[in-house]
Copies of this chain bind each other. A is one copy, B any other.
Amino acid sequence: MSYGGYGGYGGPPGPPPYGGAPSGYGGGFTTHVGLPPPPPGADPQLWSYFTTVDHDRSGAITAVELERALVNGDWTPFDLDTVKLLMTIFDVDRSGTIGFNEFVGLWKYIKDWQNVFAHFDRDRSGSIDGHELRNALTQFGYNLSPPILNLLQKKYASETRALGHAAAGINFDRFVRACVVVKQLTDSFRKLDADQDGWIQISYDQFMNTVLSLP
């Protein structure tokens, strides 16, 4: 059987460095003023963001603090599931919180995704429609069938729509999650598909494990 149901040459996380997005476009951190001085060697700008997000000045960012700080381009808060995804990736020492050094990575990741989002939001609507989603995933190397793309658009849309209407747009934080989910699912599938025929054998435990590990 010929193969080609899926591809992928890296893709997100670690999105390609598409450029040109204005700072804060798509989604990111809200910022305020009034903060302690940076430790030696720290980037003063990033330190200022870090101390703003670290609301109780404990020296570490909790999931709740991160959730409070992250907003989409339309000022809606990030979903808890996206916040937990970010904590999982960047809480390298598994302390349950994000220290300053971990924050530097998190910051870069969000900036990179802002650029990806801006690149694919062709009509500058602030959300990703079905056409834009297909373009993004195709460029990431995924060759998903139209029904799967429709499901994905519907699942990550920020609103519900009547039957027969195109699914609503996907905002920044849900777009990141959608792309990470496609990558993780495809990677998991490919690992099990030793003969690359597009079919796998999977046990109930493996199946549950794969799905429940998704963000």
Contacts and interface: CB of A to CB of B under 8 A. Distances in A.
Contacts of A199: 201-204
Contact of A145 (B148, B185, B205): B205
Contacts of A211: 181, 185, 211, 214
A79 interface: yes
Interface of A is mostly: mixed
B5 A203 contact: yes
Given A5-B205, A189-B204, A201-B200, A81 B79 contact: yes
Q: How many copies does the complex hold?
A: 2
Interface in A1-27: 5-6
Given A80-B158, A96-B161, A202 B202 contact: yes
A144 B185 contact: no
Interface in A147-189: 147-148, 151-152, 155, 158-165, 181, 185-186, 189
Contacts of A163: 94-96
A209 B84 contact: no
Contact of A208 (B64, B91, B144): B144
A45 interface: no
Interface residues on A, range: 35 or more
A173 B63 CA distance: 18
Given A79-B79, A81-B79, A162-B95, A201 B203 contact: no
Interface of A: 5-6, 62-64, 79-81, 84, 87-88, 91, 94-97, 144-145, 147-148, 151-152, 155, 158-165, 181, 185-186, 189, 193, 198-205, 207-209, 211-214
